[in-house]
């Protein structure tokens, strides 16, 4: 926030975003005591309801690996999934700029229908508005989803974390963010083999929950701000930290090289088809095997919980040194040389 | 020392102060955790090798004035956008006028843009060292070929070897060795340093950026210094030759000539700037927009970037570090550039005496760290 207006940094997903949400919204709304979890869990007649909502403003609306529609379904499905839920129903709202091509809108809607069907969810209600040319950027989509717990009790969250708990990543990091950025800058073709990783993760998360019970402490999906920001959200202000092994971080080699050339860091770029899980250390083999058998062949251990540097994430580098891994403070700007 | 590297640096020995000059080395050394692997007797300081950091405030104010001029589009490498001028940054200007400032990856994109948009004046911010300067020269040559009347460069390219000599001549700092830049050396060659360094009898090693071989290069330098040898060696032979890249240097010589220029923190160093030769004066933004010459700014008085850049102090010794000056609210470019020493130190440095850094990064050590989730 700057003087009296909202800035782009407020939407980047790191500290500034958290501050905006806290000071403007959370301070006024009741019912958000869950904190910055990916979905709300509320009592509901007959059990618990999980509910999540998300806005999608991606530019451009169509990109290698998908479009804003597929993203809108996967994003909300995944938020419910990593919170321990089985997603059931989605609502979808559209704000469309006058002049947006109908064929593109059809492709977007088709992608939503296909993805919803693959996920086993139904889009049951929605709303559509059209605004005059220039008052929206193509199309914005907002989805809200509801689901029920896969099993109970649900993953307990950061309060249950213990020294020595293990951090697992379900697959390669940062691909959606880099593919989008590179495509937008004209560095990739629409049919490039460097694509967004946009995909639903709910089957893998459900299997993990069923297999581990409460030995699964929590799950998160590293979207805006990337893994570094997600880790910060978990440890910030608490008495434990993450120790991450840089040599174990999963990357696609082509993405890694592209990021290095552009001076960008995959750890600060969003994934839209990956999640992290923190599990009790005695169950780590069960967890990794479960994930690899549930559509996450690249799942692996990337670090653990420690108490040495409370509130931070420490990266053990490929040559055995140490440095901090910080959340995204501002949008990444490519370097000079 | 339990590093998974091929080299060993002895724990015992005399205290050594080594300077790395290249901003990318500063960040690579931090990101690879090398600082945490060196014994306490080795002090690594960062020199003036971040081109953004050594650009004076006057230049930023000139760039900002251009961006605010109607029908002028300023095109720049991304790293320049967050650097504060006297009152604001280029990023602030871009917020209000998105088309006035654009980020590009290569100066040739600015030439292409000018070619496609004859209705605007395109000014490229030519900031960088010998790695970047040849591409700026190539852009000028291309603009000449296309006979463009709407392309110019606000020149601030600088050269390294004489700056190193100036640093050593101040007598303010004692250095036991230099970690020489990787890509600058690829252009100018290892031989370019011999004249400068032999006068001062200091060892130096050209190093790469990959963690393992960078560590090896630094270990090599430490060994030279421990043994009292003053040779200049190359640990980046894959890319760097003794004679450098003659083709790149000839493009440079065609378009640019040396001039005196101001370095933030070092003042004016004779012969370390690059200005356009008279044949290419048309492409000099200062010629095209002479009103820019009236701009003169000074750095904020409390800012110690100059002392950090010359290795006189380390970042935590600046009273503004992590308090009034943070990546979110920077005072000087060392904090805001992705290759600035202060930004790297704040983001990456793990030391035994670290305070709870969430408080430091928020700029207010008294504020309790609130859980917000």
Could you read off the pLDDT of B106-140 as tens digits, one per residue? 999 999 999 999 999 999 999 999 999 999 999 99
- B80 near A CB under 8 A: yes
The 10 Å Cβ neighbour count of residue B304 is 23
Could you read off the pLDDT of A123-179 as tens digits, one per residue? 998 889 999 999 999 999 999 999 999 999 999 999 999 999 999 999 999 999 999
Residues of A at the B interface (Cβ-Cβ below 8 Å)? 7-9, 15-16, 18-19, 22, 35-37, 158, 185, 233-234, 236-238, 262-263, 309-312, 314-324, 326, 329-330, 333-337
pLDDT class for A192, splitting at 50, 70, 90?
A: confident
Residue B277, both tokens: 């030769």
Do residues A301 and A284 lie in contact, with contact meaning Cβ atoms separated by under 8 Å? yes
Could you read off the pLDDT of B271-294 as tens digits, one per residue? 999 999 999 999 999 999 999 999
pLDDT class for B1, splitting at 50, 70, 90?
A: very low
Nearest-10 Cα torsion for A60, A63, A68, A69: 150
Instruction: Give me the pLDDT at residue B373, please.
Output: 13
The DSSP code for B165 is H
Has residue A303 got a pLDDT over 90? yes
Query: What percentage of chain A has pLDDT greater than the value 90?
Result: 73
Mark yes or no for CB contact A314/B350 under 8 Å.
yes
pTM over 0.95: no
Whether residue A65 has a cis bond before it, omega within 30° of 0:
no
Instruction: In whole angstroms, give the CA distance from residue A188 to residue A70.
Output: 20
pLDDT class for A329, splitting at 50, 70, 90?
A: low
Least confident of A198-202, A240-244, A330-334, B293-297: A330-334
Has residue B357 got a pLDDT over 50? no
Complex ipTM: 0.75
The set of residues, in sequence order, having a beta carbon less than 8 Å from that of B253 and lying 6+ positions away, is: none
- Indicate the average pLDDT of chain A: 90
Has residue A305 got a pLDDT over 50? yes
Mark yes or no for CB contact B103/A317 under 8 Å.
no
A233-237, A259-263, B287-291 — most confident range: B287-291
Residues of B in Cβ contact (< 8 Å) with A259 = none
pLDDT class for B348, splitting at 50, 70, 90?
A: confident
Could you read off the pLDDT of A264-279 as tens digits, one per residue? 899 999 999 999 999 9
Closest CA to A225 of A25, A49, A11: A11
Has residue B364 got a pLDDT over 60? no
Closest CA to A66 of A221, A181, A179: A179
The set of residues, in sequence order, having a beta carbon less than 8 Å from that of A306 and lying 6+ positions away, is: A163, A164, A240, A241, A242, A243, A314
Instruction: Give me the pLDDT at residue A331, please.
Output: 60
Residue B104, both tokens: 């590009």
The DSSP code for B305 is H
The set of residues, in sequence order, having a beta carbon less than 8 Å from that of A102 and lying 6+ positions away, is: none
String of b and e for B267-292 (b: at least 16 CB within 10 Å)? eebebbbbbbeeebebbbbbebbeeb
DSSP string, B191-234: HHHHHHHHHHT--EEE--SSHHHHHHHHHHHHHHHHTT---EEE
Query: What percentage of chain B has pLDDT greater than the value 70?
Result: 92
Q: Which helix (H) or strand (E) holds B128?
A: strand B121-128
Has residue B83 got a pLDDT over 90? no
Instruction: Give me the pLDDT at residue B359, please.
Output: 29
Half-sphere exposure for B20 (CA within 13 Å, toward CB): 30
User: Strand, coil or helix: what is B35?
Assistant: helix
The set of residues, in sequence order, having a beta carbon less than 8 Å from that of A15 and lying 6+ positions away, is: A232, A327, A329, B328, B361
Could you read off the pLDDT of A66-120 as tens digits, one per residue? 999 999 999 999 999 999 999 999 999 999 999 999 999 999 999 999 999 999 9
- Helix H segments across chain B? 23-31, 57-67, 90-96, 107-116, 133-145, 161-169, 183-188, 191-200, 211-226, 246-255, 285-288, 305-309, 333-336, 341-348, 357-361
Do residues B79 and B107 lie in contact, with contact meaning Cβ atoms separated by under 8 Å? no
Mean pLDDT calculated for residue range A43-61: 91
The 10 Å Cβ neighbour count of residue A159 is 8
User: Strand, coil or helix: what is A128?
Assistant: strand
Do residues A96 and A139 lie in contact, with contact meaning Cβ atoms separated by under 8 Å? yes
Mean pLDDT calculated for residue range B152-157: 97
Give backbone dihedrals phi and psi of A147, rounded to 5 degrees, phi first.
-155, 175
Residue A252, both tokens: 């696609």
DSSP string, B224-272: HHHTT---EEES-TTT--TT--HHHHHHHHHHEEEEEEEETTTEEEEEE
The 10 Å Cβ neighbour count of residue A291 is 26
Mutant choice from B21, B83, B187, B350 vs A, greatest count of A C-beta within 10 A: B350
Instruction: In whole angstroms, give the CA distance from residue B340 to residue A55.
Output: 35
The 10 Å Cβ neighbour count of residue A95 is 19
Instruction: Give me the pLDDT at residue A70, please.
Output: 97
Mean pLDDT calculated for residue range A192-200: 94
Nearest CB to A319 within list B5, B77, B183? B5
Mark yes or no for CB contact B373/A322 under 8 Å.
no
User: HEC profile for A13-78?
Assistant: CCHHHHHHHHHHHHCCCCCCCCCCCCCEEEEECCEEEEEEEEEECCCCCEECCEEHHHHHHHHHHH
The set of residues, in sequence order, having a beta carbon less than 8 Å from that of B358 and lying 6+ positions away, is: A236, A237, A311, A312, B369
Has residue B3 got a pLDDT over 60? no
The 10 Å Cβ neighbour count of residue A28 is 8
pLDDT class for A261, splitting at 50, 70, 90?
A: confident
Has residue B201 got a pLDDT over 80? yes
């Amino acid at each position: 926030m700057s003087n009296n207006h909202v800035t782009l940094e407020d939407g980047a997903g790191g500290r500034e975003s958290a501050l905006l949400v806290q000071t403007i919204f959370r301070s006024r709304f009741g019912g958000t005591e869950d904190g910055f979890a990916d979905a709300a869990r509320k009592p509901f007649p007959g059990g618990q309801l999980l509910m999540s909502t998300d806005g999608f403003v991606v530019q451009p609306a169509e990109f290698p690996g998908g479009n804003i529609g597929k993203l809108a379904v996967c994003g909300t499905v995944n938020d419910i999934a990593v919170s321990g839920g089985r997603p059931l129903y989605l609502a979808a709202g559209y704000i469309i700029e006058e002049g947006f091509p109908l064929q593109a809108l059809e492709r977007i809607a088709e992608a939503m229908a296909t993805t919803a069907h693959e996920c086993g969810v139904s889009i049951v209600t929605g709303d559509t508005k059209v605004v005059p040319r220039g008052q929206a950027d193509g199309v914005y989509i907002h989805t809200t989803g509801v689901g029920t717990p896969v099993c109970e009790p649900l993953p307990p969250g950061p309060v249950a974390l213990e020294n020595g708990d293990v951090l697992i990543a379900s697959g390669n990091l940062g691909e959606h963010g880099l593919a989008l950025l590179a495509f937008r800058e004209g560095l990739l073709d629409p049919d490039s083999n460097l694509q967004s990783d946009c995909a639903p993760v709910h089957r893998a998360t459900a299997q993990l929950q069923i297999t581990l019970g409460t030995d699964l402490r929590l799950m998160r999906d590293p979207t805006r701000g990337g893994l570094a920001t997600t880790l910060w959200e978990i440890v910030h202000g608490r008495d434990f930290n993450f120790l991450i092994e840089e040599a174990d971080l999963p990357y696609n080699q082509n993405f890694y090289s592209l990021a290095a050339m552009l001076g960008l860091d995959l750890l600060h770029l969003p994934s839209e088809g990956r999640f992290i899980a923190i599990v009790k250390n005695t169950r780590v083999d069960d967890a990794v095997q479960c994930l690899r058998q549930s559509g996450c062949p690249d799942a692996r251990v990337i670090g653990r919980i420690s108490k040495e540097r409370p509130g931070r994430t420490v990266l053990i580098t490929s040559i055995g040194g140490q440095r901090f891994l910080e959340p995204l403070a501002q949008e990444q700007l490519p370097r000079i040389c | 020392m339990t590093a998974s590297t091929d080299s060993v640096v002895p724990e015992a020995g005399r205290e050594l102060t080594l300077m790395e000059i290249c901003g990318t080395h500063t960040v690579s050394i931090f990101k690879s955790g090398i600082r945490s692997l060196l014994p306490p007797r080795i002090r690594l300081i960062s020199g003036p090798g971040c081109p953004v950091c050594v650009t004076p405030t006057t230049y930023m104010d000139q760039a900002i004035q251009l961006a605010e001029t109607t029908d002028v589009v300023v095109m720049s490498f991304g790293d320049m956008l967050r650097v504060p001028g006297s009152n604001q940054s280029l990023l602030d200007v871009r917020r209000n006028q998105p088309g006035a400032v654009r980020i590009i990856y290569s100066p040739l994109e600015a030439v292409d843009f000018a070619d496609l948009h004859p209705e605007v004046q395109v000014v490229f911010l030519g900031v960088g060292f010998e790695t970047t300067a040849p591409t700026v020269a190539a852009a000028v040559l291309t603009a000449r070929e296309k006979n463009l009347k709407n392309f110019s460069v606000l020149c601030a390219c600088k050269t390294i070897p004489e700056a190193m000599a100036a640093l050593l001549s101040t007598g303010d700092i004692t250095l036991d060795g230099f970690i020489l830049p990787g890509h600058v050396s690829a252009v100018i060659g290892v031989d370019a340093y011999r004249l400068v360094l032999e006068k001062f009898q200091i060892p130096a090693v050209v190093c790469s950026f990959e963690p393992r071989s960078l560590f090896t290069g630094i270990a090599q330098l430490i060994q030279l210094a421990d043994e009292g040898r003053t040779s200049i060696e190359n640990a980046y032979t894959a890319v760097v030759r003794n004679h450098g890249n003659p083709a790149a240097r000839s493009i440079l010589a065609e378009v640019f000539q040396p001039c005196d220029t101001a370095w933030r923190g070092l003042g004016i160093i004779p012969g370390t700037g690059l200005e356009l030769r008279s044949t290419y004066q048309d492409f000099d933004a200062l010629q095209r927009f002479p009103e820019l010459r009236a701009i003169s700014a000074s750095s904020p008085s409390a800012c110690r970037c100059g002392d950090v850049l010359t290795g006189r102090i380390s970042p935590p010794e600046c009273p503004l570090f992590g308090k009034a000056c943070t990546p979110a609210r920077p005072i000087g470019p060392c904090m805001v550039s992705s290759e600035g020493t202060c930004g790297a130190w704040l983001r990456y440095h793990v030391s035994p005496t670290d305070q709870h850094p969430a408080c430091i990064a928020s700029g207010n050590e008294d504020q309790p760290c609130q859980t917000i989730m």
